[in-house]
Copies of this chain bind each other. A is one copy, B any other.
Amino acid sequence: MPDRKESARLADHAQIEGLADDLLPALIAKLGASGLAELEVREGDWKVRLRRPTDGGSSTTRSATGRAAARAAQAHADHAHGDHGQVDHGGSEQAGSETATNPYRTAATSPAVGVYHPKAEVTSGSRVRAGDRIGSVDVLGIPQEVVAPVNGIVGAAMVESGDAVEYGQELVWIELIATTAERSGRDA
């Protein structure tokens, strides 16, 4: 989806703040008092929904039984956050959520599906610039370059040399040397 106009944004803010102030207390009272599973209220174009915890635990496990549980969980997470079709984060959920929560590091990802080989000279602590070659992924014998996505310092590796990796998989952390500007930008 394209980014939306400032005016629309402000309208959204007003509407949602309205929801929060006027409707939430009523919702809280109603849901707290009743035995309902969930409550939803519309205000203009917006909805607020409160849901009482349902025992989905066992069943979720069930749904992932005999399947790539991590993958299913990933899919769920994507849904829960509503960023349907947004796939610019690769790799396992664990890594994915880390990047989401820690704005001061970013991961170098695999350019292809194959076997990973880090560059010998590049070890934890080495300083790298965006675009520097820090390793390669071997695809049917042809090496594909792995490059540092940002300026920073090589941090913990998430996969070992010789491991099979998929496209977009996070390989190694690059610790950012972040400026305040960058930070506030991320927190916005």
CB contact under 8 A between A188 and B82, given known A24-B20, A48-B48, A50-B48: no
Docked Cα-Cα span, A166 to B127, in Å, equals 76
**Chain A, interface residues (CB within 8 Å), range:** 35 or more
Q: Is the Cβ of B82 less than 8 Å from the Cβ of A49?
A: yes
Copies in the complex: 2
A121 on the B face (CB < 8 A): no
Q: Is the Cβ of B188 less than 8 Å from the Cβ of A40?
A: no
Docked Cα-Cα span, A84 to B29, in Å, equals 18
Q: Is the Cβ of B2 less than 8 Å from the Cβ of A82?
A: no
* A interface residues with partner B (beta carbon < 8 Å): 1-4, 9-10, 12-13, 16-17, 20, 24, 27-29, 31-42, 45-53, 80-86, 188
Residue of B nearest to A28 (CB): B16
Docked Cα-Cα span, A34 to B12, in Å, equals 11
Q: Is the Cβ of B16 less than 8 Å from the Cβ of A82?
A: no
- The 18 listed contacts between A and B (C-beta, < 8 Å) are A1-B37, A3-B35, A10-B32, A16-B24, A20-B28, A36-B81, A37-B82, A37-B85, A41-B81, A46-B50, A46-B51, A46-B52, A47-B51, A48-B49, A48-B50, A49-B49, A49-B51, A49-B82
Chain B nearest CB, measured from A15 CB (Å): 9
Docked Cα-Cα span, A20 to B35, in Å, equals 21
